[in-house]
Amino acid sequence: MITNLLDEFTDDVFQFLTSKPKIGKSLLVKKHSENVQIHGDFSFPNTLKSWHEYINLEGSSVEADATLLTHIGKEVTDLISESKNWRFEVAKVKHSKGRVHMFLDRLKSIPVGLSGAFDYNEDITKRIGVSKDIVYLDGDCEDNSLTSLRLKYLTKSIENLYSLYATAKERSESVLPVHVTSKSSFKSDDGHTVLCGVVLNAKTGAKEINIKADDYIRIRQDEMTLIAQHKYGVRVSTDSKWKEFIAHLGESAVVFELLQSRPNSAVKINFDCSAAGSSKGAAFILYNCARLEAIIRTFNEKVDEGVYPPLPSFSETDFSLLTHEDEWCLIFNFIMGFPMLLNICVEINERYCEFRPHHLCSFLCSMVRVFSQYYRKVRILTEPRKHLLPVLFARLHMLKILNESLKTCLNILNIKSVSQMYLHYYFLIQIIRFIFFTKCIKVFETI
């Protein structure tokens, strides 16, 4: 399991309310992801009925409308006071429709959350891909069909998720092997089995057997070329590097499309390239990956040119300047929320095994949608005026950590980020400029 600060906070609240440590996956303390400025960051039901498994009611007379806080003899002010001893402090509490809504102290939570994210991103990067001798692809499924292609991509993502599930010592002592297959009749004698759903033709509703894996990838490469031409105004080149780049983008679209559904569910594919929509999700994710890379690279270039001073250390940065609501959303949901997401992507016990890489796809879509919205609203690389630099530095630290989280997600799915597609750095930047920044960008945000 990946240690994360948000789960630690829910454990603290649970302990405060029940005087017992949380065991298992209790969902009574709920994390919010939308409208947190109204509903708070977390909430819990304030009814005894919801907590009857954890509260001792024997020998006490309980009124029908008694609340949890009344029964345990505590006030919301006690919760706020107690939270001062936690990693995340509660700044405000409100009651609404039988629930207690908690608002975190953002001023104190942001540096704690960003610092923790920096550490776990480093840990995750080291652990990815060390389970190759534990996850096995069914040998009878190795052909050039689309279902076999999905099996191969799924197996690679499961290898990476399994690496994060437990430490190397835990895996060697107790983790059983995993066999990935598309055959419902397959039975494993020595471990777990993960069933992979077949690939269907969206028009016929039948299993696709005519279009092979290579053909499918080529269709998506052609579609990515059309997206580059019509959406981003790119003039297609015959250069071999250009073709290699489009090939990577096309395969990335294929991986994303085949993994964005629950593994044991069938995937319906629209092969009509003229529909021009199947690859948009992957294109938008990689587009915003390029945006993040470009912002960070442009800042570093301007430091070398003497336009900006060097980025100060984390401890010397004033994160209280991150007051935009989208900044809190990016930090709370996608930076601090990343390890929480990884924990729900894997569930294994002696009798049960499930991997959920499709959650990573949904997470990426949500992340880049919020980042794109933030990018349109906020000028990140401002003029190098003294009074503007502190907030610029805080935003750069935030975006660097967000970028690492995004690239780690892509890495788990075995999708190359834009920065990984070419080892030749200069050519990479030319490609990014060529594809993604043909339109007018604000001063100091151009490449």
What is the pLDDT of the chain when averaged over all its residues? 85
Bridge partners (DSSP) listed for residue 365: none
Q: What does the alpha-carbon distance between residue 165 and residue 7 come to, in Å, rounded to a whole number? A: 16
- Res 243: pLDDT: 75
For residue 442, what pLDDT band results from cuts at 50, 70 and 90? very low
Name residue 112's amino acid: V
- Res 171: pLDDT: 54
Q: Are 88 and 105 in contact (CB under 8 A)?
A: yes
- Res 430: pLDDT: 46
Q: Are residues 263 and 286 in the same domain?
A: no
Q: Are residues 246 and 299 in the same domain?
A: no
Residue 445 lies in a domain: no
Read off the pLDDT of residues 43-81 as tens digits, 9 standing for 90 and up: 999 999 899 888 877 656 566 568 999 989 999 999 999
Picking from 150, 438, 130, 136, the residue whose alpha carbon sits closest to that of residue 287 is: 438
The alpha-helical segments, DSSP class H, found in 317-421 are 325-329, 338-344, 358-377, 389-412
Q: What does the alpha-carbon distance between residue 343 and residue 359 come to, in Å, rounded to a whole number? A: 11
| Domain boundary pick from 251, 275, 299 | 275
Residue 356 lies in a domain: yes
Read off the pLDDT of residues 355-371 as tens digits, 9 standing for 90 and up: 999 999 999 999 999 99
- Res 124: pLDDT: 86
Tokens (6 digits) for 140: 């009878």
Name residue 168's amino acid: A
| Domain boundary pick from 104, 137, 168 | 104
- Res 330: pLDDT: 98
Q: Are residues 403 and 284 in the same domain?
A: yes
Cα separation of the two ends of the chain: 40
Total count of domains within the chain: 3
For residue 436, what pLDDT band results from cuts at 50, 70 and 90? very low
Read off the pLDDT of residues 86-115 as tens digits, 9 standing for 90 and up: 999 999 999 999 999 999 999 999 999 999
Residue 31 lies in a domain: yes
Query: What percentage of residues in the chain have a pLDDT greater than 70?
Result: 82
- Res 446: pLDDT: 39
Per-residue pLDDT, averaged over 138-152, amounts to 86
> Which CATH number does the domain housing residue 296 bear?
1.10.730.10
Q: What does the alpha-carbon distance between residue 302 and residue 310 come to, in Å, rounded to a whole number? A: 9
Per-residue pLDDT, averaged over 126-142, amounts to 76
For residue 403, what pLDDT band results from cuts at 50, 70 and 90? very high
Q: Are residues 51 and 89 in the same domain?
A: yes
Per-residue pLDDT, averaged over 5-10, amounts to 94
The answer on pLDDT for 1 being more than 80 is: no
| Domain boundary pick from 275, 295, 328 | 275
Read off the pLDDT of residues 190-213 as tens digits, 9 standing for 90 and up: 788 999 999 999 889 999 889 999
For residue 447, what pLDDT band results from cuts at 50, 70 and 90? very low
Read off the pLDDT of residues 17-48 as tens digits, 9 standing for 90 and up: 999 888 777 789 999 999 999 999 999 999 99
- Res 372: pLDDT: 94
Residue 90 lies in a domain: yes
- Res 17: pLDDT: 96
Q: List strands edge to edge, sheet with 90-96.
A: 30-31, 42-45, 99-104, 90-96
Read off the pLDDT of residues 298-326 as tens digits, 9 standing for 90 and up: 999 999 999 999 999 999 999 999 999 99
Q: Are residues 136 and 239 in the same domain?
A: yes
For residue 275, what pLDDT band results from cuts at 50, 70 and 90? very low
Q: Are residues 233 and 144 in the same domain?
A: yes
Picking from 334, 351, 408, 380, the residue whose alpha carbon sits closest to that of residue 121 is: 408
Q: What does the alpha-carbon distance between residue 284 and residue 269 come to, in Å, rounded to a whole number? A: 19
For residue 174, what pLDDT band results from cuts at 50, 70 and 90? low
Residue 117 lies in a domain: no
Per-residue pLDDT, averaged over 135-142, amounts to 79
Q: What does the alpha-carbon distance between residue 315 and residue 305 come to, in Å, rounded to a whole number? A: 25
pTM for this entry: 0.88
Q: Are residues 284 and 421 in the same domain?
A: yes
- Res 439: pLDDT: 34
Residue 442 lies in a domain: no
Which residues form the domain of 60? 5-104
Query: What percentage of residues in the chain have a pLDDT greater than 90?
Result: 55
Q: Are residues 162 and 132 in the same domain?
A: yes
Q: Are residues 378 and 344 in the same domain?
A: yes
Residue 112 lies in a domain: no
Q: Are residues 271 and 295 in the same domain?
A: no
Q: Are residues 331 and 420 in the same domain?
A: yes
- Res 423: pLDDT: 37
Q: Report which of residues 63 and 133 the model is more confident about.
A: 133
The answer on pLDDT for 273 being more than 80 is: no
Per-residue pLDDT, averaged over 138-147, amounts to 82
Residue 443 lies in a domain: no
Q: Are 416 and 249 in contact (CB under 8 A)?
A: no
The answer on pLDDT for 231 being more than 50 is: yes
Q: Are residues 260 and 292 in the same domain?
A: no
